[in-house]
Amino acid sequence: MIERRHALLSPTPGTSRELLSLHYGPPGTGRKVAIQASLHADEVPGLLVAHHLRSRLGELEAQGSLQGEIVLVPFANPVGLSQWVLGSHEGRFDLASGENFNRLYADLAPRAAEILEPRVRGGADVGVADARAALLQACAELTVTTELQCLRRTLLGLAIDAEVVLDLHCDNEAVLHLYTLPALWPEVEPLARLTGSRAVLVADLSGDEPFDEACSAVWQRLSAALSERAGCKIEFPAACVGVTVELRGERDVTHEFARADAEAILQYLAWRGFIAGAPQRLPDLLCEATPLAGSIPVLAPQGGVLVHARPLGSVVKRGEVVAEIVDPLGGHAMPLASPTDGVLYARESRRFVTAGTRVCKVAGREAVRSGKLLSD
Contact footprint for Zn ion (CB under 5 A): 40, 43, 169
d(CA 171, CA 286): 19
Report the residue number, 170 or 316, with the smaller CB distance to Zn ion: 170
Q: Least separation, in Å, of the C-beta of 229 and Zn ion?
A: 35
From the number of C-beta atoms within 10 Å of its C-beta (0-12, 13-18, 19+), residue 252 rates as buried
Report the residue number, 32 or 169, with the smaller CB distance to Zn ion: 169
Q: Least separation, in Å, of the C-beta of 54 and Zn ion?
A: 21
Report the residue number, 40 or 193, with the smaller CB distance to Zn ion: 40
105: how many CB neighbours lie within 10 A of its CB? 22
d(CA 99, CA 226): 31
d(CA 142, CA 238): 23
Q: Least separation, in Å, of the C-beta of 169 and Zn ion?
A: 3
d(CA 183, CA 181): 5
d(CA 176, CA 198): 6
Report the residue number, 101 or 236, with the smaller CB distance to Zn ion: 101
Q: Least separation, in Å, of the C-beta of 369 and Zn ion?
A: 19
Q: Least separation, in Å, of the C-beta of 102 and Zn ion?
A: 6
Task: Give the DSSP per-residue string, 49-88.
Answer: HHHHHHHHHHHHHHTT-B-SEEEEES-S-HHHHT-EETTE
CB 160 within 8 A of CB 218: yes
Report the residue number, 83 or 267, with the smaller CB distance to Zn ion: 83
Query: How do the residues of the chain divide into helix, strand and coil, expressed in percent and rounded to 5?
Result: 30, 25, 45
Q: Least separation, in Å, of the C-beta of 223 and Zn ion?
A: 29
Report the residue number, 43 or 163, with the smaller CB distance to Zn ion: 43
